Amino acid sequence: MVDRFLEFIKKHALIDEKDDLLLAVSGGVDSMVLFNLILQTKHRFAVAHCNFQLRGEQADLDEILVKEACESNGIKNHSVRFETKKFASAKGISTQMAARELRFDWFRELCSKFGYTKIVLAHHRDDSIETFFLNLSRGTSLKGLRGIQARNENLIRPLLPFSKKEIVDYATRNGIAWREDVSNEENYYKRNLIRHELLPVFKELNPDFEKVMSENLEKLEYRYQTSERHYDDLRASLIEEQNNQSRIVKSEILEQCASAYDLYEVLRPFSFNFDTAEQLFESLDKVGVQFKSDSYFALVDREYVLIEKRSTTSYESFELQEGEGGFSCADKHYHLSVLGVSDWKLDRNPEHAALDLASLQFPLEIRPWQEGDAFRPIGMKGRKLISDLLIDLKVPLSDKPKVHVLLSNDEIAWVIGFRISEKFKVSEKTRKVWQAKLKNN
**Using one digit for the tens of pLDDT, what is the confidence trace for 19-54?**
999 999 999 999 999 999 999 998 999 999 999 998
Is 432 in contact with 357 (CB distance < 8 Å)? yes
Q: For residue 440, is pLDDT > 90? A: no
State percent of the chain over pLDDT 90.
80
Q: For residue 145, is pLDDT > 70? A: yes
122: amino acid identity, one letter: A
Rounded mean pLDDT of 275-292?
92
Q: Model confidence at 182, in pLDDT bands (50, 70, 90)?
A: low
Is 296 in contact with 288 (CB distance < 8 Å)? no
pLDDT at 187: 42
Cα–Cα dist 5/37, whole Å: 8
Q: Which domains does the chain have, with CATH numbers?
A: 2-210 (3.40.50.620), 243-309 (no CATH), 318-438 (3.50.40.10)
Is 50 in contact with 102 (CB distance < 8 Å)? yes
Rounded mean pLDDT of 271-289?
93
- Better-scored residue on pLDDT, 266 or 311: 266
Cα–Cα dist 306/147, whole Å: 34
Rounded mean pLDDT of 82-89?
93
Cα–Cα dist 434/54, whole Å: 66
Average pLDDT, the chain: 92
CA distances from 215 to 101, 137, 200, 204 (A): 31, 20, 18, 18
Which residue, 322, 119, 147, 122, is CA-closest to 218?
Answer: 147
pLDDT at 287: 84
pLDDT at 333: 93
pLDDT at 185: 46
Q: For residue 361, is pLDDT > 60? A: yes
Per-residue pLDDT tens over the stretch 231-257: 999 999 999 998 788 999 999 999 999
Rounded mean pLDDT of 100-106?
96
Is 49 in contact with 26 (CB distance < 8 Å)? yes
Q: For residue 360, is pLDDT > 60? A: yes
Rounded mean pLDDT of 402-420?
96
pLDDT at 391: 87
Which residue, 99, 120, 115, is CA-closest to 35?
Answer: 120
Q: What does R_g of the chain's alpha carbons equal in angstroms?
A: 31
Cα–Cα dist 298/266, whole Å: 13
Cα–Cα dist 82/283, whole Å: 50
Rounded mean pLDDT of 158-164?
96
Q: Model confidence at 184, in pLDDT bands (50, 70, 90)?
A: low
pLDDT at 104: 96
